[in-house]
Amino acid sequence: MAHDGHDHEGSELSPLALRVKALETLLTEKGYIDPAALDELIETYETKVGPRNGARVVARAWTDAAYAERLRKDATAAIAELGFVGRQGEHMVALFNTPDRHNVVVCTLCSCYPWPTLGLPPVWYKSTPYRSRVVIDPRSVLAEFGTALPDDTEIRVWDSTSEVRYLVIPMRPKGTEGWSEDQLAEIVTRDSMIGTAVLGSAA
């Protein structure tokens, strides 16, 4: 469904795209919305907010024990220290993975996700295959992401049913001793902060 780059306004839009355009026109005419505000919202979530934010939180927690402690006690405040606040991150909890317990986050009822630290969720996170299966069969879900955990590791799946949002703090990979916070932030992936992936050893 990717666009082919010949998207001339109007003439080649799908019926759905035309309906969306008509609705935006109607809402603008009625004075309910400001199209420039829509542009600003889109630009924010396409270019400013994303999983690089969450990676900063993780890298700080790995390199600063006092910060990690604050993150455990009050994740909302600790994450705000790095400037990541607001919508869909109003009530944050950080989940620290350990060798005995691996955390995974889902919203079985829809798509709740920590926007300030991870941005908008990927399609698979919002789709019924993931939402339905991760609670009943987390190991097969992780296997689809190439993630295998020992049989005796507890996989703890957090179903985001309230306005509390969860950020997984993956275990720091072996071989990263002495790395700077910036270097560490580079290797933290989005999926490791959702919990569908773990971080491999650094070569």
Partner 1 sequence: MNGPHDVGGMMGFGPIAPEKDEPVFHEPWERRVFAAALAMGATGAWNIDISRHARERIPAVDYWNSSYYEIWFKGLLRLLQEHGLASAEEISGSTPSLPPAKVKRVLTKDMVQGALAKGGPANRPLSTNAKFKPGDKVRTKNIHPTAHTRLPRYVRGHMGEIVLIHGTHVLPDSSAHGKGDDPNWLYAVRFTAKELWNKATPDTVMLDLWEPYLDPA
Tell whether residue 37 is a contact of partner 1 (CB under 8 A). yes
Which is catalytic among the residues 11, 14, 112, 162?
A: 112
Please answer whether residues 107 and 159 qualify as being in contact, where contact means their C-beta atoms are separated by less than 8 angstroms: yes
**List of residues 6+ apart from 182 with CB closer than 8 A:** 59
Interface positions, 155-194, toward partner 1 (CB under 8 A): 155-164, 191
Tell whether residue 64 is a contact of partner 1 (CB under 8 A). no
Please answer whether residues 146 and 196 qualify as being in contact, where contact means their C-beta atoms are separated by less than 8 angstroms: no
* Structure-block tokens of residue 180: 């700077």
Is residue 132 part of the annotated active site? The answer reads: no
Is residue 110 part of the annotated active site? The answer reads: yes
Please answer whether residues 159 and 106 qualify as being in contact, where contact means their C-beta atoms are separated by less than 8 angstroms: yes
Q: In sequence order, what DSSP letters do the residues of 41-81 get, joined into one string?
A: HHHIIIIISSHHHHHHHHHHHHH-HHHHHHHHH-HHHHHHH
Is residue 162 part of the annotated active site? The answer reads: no
| Least distance from partner 1 to the Cβ atom of residue 167, Å | 14
Tell whether residue 69 is a contact of partner 1 (CB under 8 A). no
Tell whether residue 147 is a contact of partner 1 (CB under 8 A). no
| Least distance from partner 1 to the Cβ atom of residue 65, Å | 22
Binder among 4, 123, 177, 178 for partner 1 (CB under 8 A)? 123
Stretch that binds partner 1, among 51-59, 60-68, 146-154, 178-186 (CB under 8 A): 146-154
Nearest-10 Cα torsion for 118, 179, 148, 65 = -70
Binder among 6, 11, 32, 203 for partner 1 (CB under 8 A)? 32
Q: Please give the positions annotated as active site.
A: 107, 110-112
